[in-house]
Amino acid sequence: MATTEFAFNNKVYTATKTLPFQVNYRRELRMGFDIRKKEKNEKAEKFVREMKERHEEARVALVKSQEEMKRQVDRNRKEAEEYRVGDKILISTKDFSKELMKRVTKKLMKKFIGPYVVKKIVSENAVELELLALLRIHPVVNVRRIVKYREQVEGQKKIPLLPVEVAGEKKYEIEEILDR
């Protein structure tokens, strides 16, 4: 209340060209200090100087800390591989849920699935892929989660054996037991 009253009484009104307090009491309103002083306040200047020095010291320390953090992170960072539209890639299943991969345990899931084709380069860190609707993930993927697909060398390709149907159930035929 006192602040509002002070502000009201300390405002020069255009009709009277004076302060309301001056009209009522025929003297100027006193605040305990004069804000209109033009002389220098050495304590205030010293305080401002000290604060500027502290801010500069803090800025230098933050820059040094930032450079050290960047150096530590860059030690383990490798250059991102360049991808082009049409490249075949494999997606890491590291962050996929086991429900998405339809597996019983996470450790039995494949590490990478694919190949999928790069549809569009979104940025240097993200690409859009042509994915199957069954996969139910967002088509834009970070480049840290993908690797280029490399065709297998001729003769290296593993041809999966087809299951044999026994009593209405699909079973695989075992050629030999190597160890027990």
pLDDT tens digit sequence for 90-125? 999 888 776 666 666 777 778 898 899 999 999 988
Q: Answer whether residue 145 is part of any domain.
A: yes
User: Quick one: tokens of 74?
Assistant: 């860059």
Q: pLDDT, tens digit, for every residue of 46-62? A: 999 999 999 999 999 99
Other CB atoms within a 10 A radius of the CB of residue 141 amount to 21
| Structure tokens that stand for 122 in this block | 């979104």
Q: CATH number for the domain including 136?
A: 2.30.30
92 and 116 belong to one structural domain? yes
Same domain, 65 and 101: no
- Residues 28 and 45 grouped into a single domain: no
| Residue 167 resides in a domain | no
Pairing of strands 146-148, 140-142: unpaired
If one counts the domains in the chain, the total is 3
- How much is the mean pLDDT over the chain? 82
CA 15 vs. chain centroid, Å, equals 58
Entry pTM: 0.47
Domain interval for residue 130: 88-152
Distance of CA 108 to the CA centre of its chain: 31
Please check whether residue 50 lies inside any domain of the structure: yes
Question: How far is Cα of residue 104 from the mean position of the Cα atoms in its chain?
Answer: 32
Q: Report the largest interatomic distance among the alpha carbons of the chain, rounded to a whole angstrom.
A: 115
